[in-house]
């Protein structure tokens, strides 16, 4: 937890009417970054009836915050010690996980060059000091509305309709960006491919409706293990799932896979044609260093070989390599 972070909960609702969106403005998270605690508290109080507001007192704290929970919008003071607001914005725009977060700058400089600097750093808008309450509420609302509409469109493109997990479109587009970022940071990628054991028999016995319910339950367990901003689970095939675990070595990847298999086992979803008499998963796991050198298909193929091994060894197992 950041000692400099404070929560201000909104009171009144500002509904959003957008394409298939299940989120509204009041549930959006806005991070206010300013080394002046009084100024950031003032802005947070102004936004109190619009959205959820957090504050951070430095660029370093803001980056740490974003690594733990992605905000929907940043309101950033340009003039801060050490790393100023412009450089913070550049760093966030260079990261795959934070590149799409809109940024509103707060600046005391009204000059043309200062405005150009804000745009060139990647800012989406700016307000000038002293902050006018109605102006910043209007600017924040507009940015959040745009963000929610974009998120809704992405959801339609990247989300599996049954499970709510990501689909193959997301995997194919995300992997190149993710691999480049991991390569820059010299970090490995953990990847696990899961398969529901004896799922054809489950559908044959209990019917496809019960099969869908089973997949939803499995997906809910998998989703619980995407605890960091860049973690992701993809429904890869009918009963196959892929989990991406950036910056996770083989031992950590194996541990997560084993925990998931245990959790699925403990759900006790009855399956009378399984030797375990319940639904189970098998998993193949890998962790790849220098990930940019490996095409996605090669990484999945290696994990799939391990999954096949797990199946041969009796299922309800994790095989790593």
Residues with catalytic function = 239
8 Å CB contact between 47 and 53: yes
Residue recorded with tokens 């950041």: 2
Residues of 242-272 as b/e, b for ≥16 C-beta within 10 angstroms?
bbbbbbbebeebbebbeebbebbeeeebebe
Structure tokens given for 97: 């996980």
Cis status of the peptide bond prior to 130, with omega within 30 of 0: yes
Residues 6+ apart with CB under 8 A from 196: 202, 214, 215, 218, 239, 279, 280, 281
d(C-alpha 178, C-alpha 208), whole Å: 35
């Amino acid at each position: 937890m950041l000692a400099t972070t404070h929560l201000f909960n909104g009171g009144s609702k500002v509904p959003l009417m957008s394409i298939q969106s299940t989120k509204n403005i009041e549930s959006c998270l806005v991070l206010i970054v300013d080394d002046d605690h009084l100024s950031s508290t003032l802005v947070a109080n102004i936004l109190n009836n619009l959205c959820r507001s957090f504050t951070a007192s430095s660029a370093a704290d803001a980056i740490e915050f974003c690594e733990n929970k992605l905000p929907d919008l940043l309101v950033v003071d340009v003039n801060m010690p050490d790393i100023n607001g412009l450089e913070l914005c550049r760093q966030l725009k260079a990261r795959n996980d934070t590149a799409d977060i809109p940024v509103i700058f707060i600046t005391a400089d009204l000059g043309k060059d200062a405005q150009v600097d804000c745009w060139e750093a990647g800012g989406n808008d700016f307000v000038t000091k002293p902050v006018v309450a109605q102006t910043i509420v209007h600017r924040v609302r507009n940015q959040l509305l745009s963000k929610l509409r974009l998120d809704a469109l992405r959801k339609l493109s990247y989300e599996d309709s049954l499970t709510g997990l990501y689909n193959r479109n997301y995997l194919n587009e995300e992997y190149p960006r993710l691999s480049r970022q991991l390569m820059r940071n010299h970090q490995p990628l953990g990847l696990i491919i899961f398969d529901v054991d004896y799922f054809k028999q489950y559908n044959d016995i209990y019917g496809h409706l019960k099969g869908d319910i089973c997949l939803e339950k499995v997906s809910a367990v998998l989703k619980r293990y995407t605890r960091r901003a860049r973690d992701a689970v993809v429904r890869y095939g009918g009963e196959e799932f892929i989990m991406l675990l950036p910056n996770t070595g083989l031992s950590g990847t194996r541990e997560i896979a084993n925990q998931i298999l245990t959790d699925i086992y403990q759900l006790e979803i009855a399956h009378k044609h399984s030797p375990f008499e319940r639904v189970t998963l098998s998993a193949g796991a890998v962790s790849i260093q220098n990930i940019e050198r490996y095409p996605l298909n090669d990484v999945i193929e290696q994990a799939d070989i391990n999954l096949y091994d797990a199946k041969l060894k009796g299922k309800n197992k994790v095989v790593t390599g």
